[in-house]
Structure 1
């Protein structure tokens, strides 16, 4: 990785001219922020067993903005996970996006250089891949992890909070409406042998690298994204045939403003749809389909509130079902309302209903009642 980055840096310096229309330089600045998120979840029926748990995630962030297009970012995460899905609801997609590895982790630490009036951006360091690739703006409202990172992609072991991976990302703003992203990462985030460690960077030849490509086309009130990922090292097929091939997958998503509210293009009723596939010879999940609707300001005088409904469904691969007696899909329906108590403080009641948790025919459909509390200070 270090050799590849050095070569890329040399080529970059020789081929990228200094823009004569660059913006006026700004003095260096350092900003700090803190975000605390708590999920109170109650599995009232179905799943593995009924029960209540409180999950929390404290994230401390630091952002440095320098001169000549340089910037840097770092964050620390203190997580108190409870394994809610595994112990209570029994679902595969995770009803809580902070149901993470308990401990204190270095979430991200990267350096960025922008050039050509911010048209070309290079980022290198410990990176959460899902902060750049497969980002679902509307889906971020919901608690279920699949709405933030499609399970077809997430199951690959790609870096995600709180386990970043060493990576390099190039992003090119081809025009005002077209963006291209290319990334290369350590194929597995963190160190599987030390999952609770503060920071772990372990490059293994047996794991290889993971490449991602994404193209985004923006239009008034929305966007379309198409992405593809692939690993450099072959993996064993799950049918125990002894054959191997490289893991890969493809996804696409679209976000549309259906009914704008006022003159803002990204406020009002918005809908999104995401679909993805992964190699069904290598993974337990072969396809994903999800989407939903969100509406900003549903009540008079409550413009900062958001209400939403979403669905996320994964299809279990034939190769996996051949060795397991199970349902063909797990499907989660979620309804949520984010109420802004005051700037920086949000309370969000949430209801999720999971059909065929983990595809296990022995588990009844699960009903989970939840409350999300989010408090943020300073720079996000």
Structure 2
């Protein structure tokens, strides 16, 4: 279907003021597509939208090339709308965009260290570029996806604000835009000398230090509200962050007939799927069930079962039981029923 933008969004893009009294950058009474409706219906994502709108208005007058930024914002809106009503996707898109805009007023230089704005909790990259002469730059890029790594270095040919590198089936294009650097990749992970699932493509911002990770169950979209997040923090304690970290790769699990209407997510860390894996089931009335595989102090794998539903404390729903039994069949995997 064709993309539609509310009048307020268009106005924001053109840097005009909006007096709409909503917790977002556009008038929710005019929300038409699934993305806008999802944003308006979710307080956390709506607050991210409002924060982005304020940052956009403050950033546009300060960048070196406002026209390029307006074009980039329109492209971002198209990408955002591809999330439809997927809150996990939307929240990550907003967080990434907020980070991008926060660095776009930095003067651009090819002599810099760059950090990738990561998609997910266990992906990332660091890029070092340096001008070699008037027509070339050198580069050295590191990438990660879970436990898998990659590294590539070489010399790229400059053409205005773009540099291009090609060797064999691997090609990288570096595109400067205001204070950020886009890297496009042609060729597979293996073609570019990287482990499975590791790609160097993405948007990078100039920084000597890795970008601070602020991921939680809200930001990765596993819970909807701050209250649900608080419930799981209290329930899981030290395992809360382990659950966040296990969510880097995710698929929808099978429904559980003994808990009608529950949603199921199966999660793992690429390259560490047998160690950092979990299955998470939840309902709209904030009931939770979770099995999380962890490594104990002796290096032995254990499965920990959590739920905030008293009647389920001593038993697993069928979907979680099947998931656990499949992994236990491959070797010793003790199941701990957590308080």
State the TM-score, normalized to the length of structure 2: 0.30
With a CA cutoff of 8 Å and minimum separation of 6, indicate the structure with the bigger relative contact order: 1
Whose strand fraction is larger, Structure 1's or Structure 2's?
A: 1
Larger radius of gyration: 2
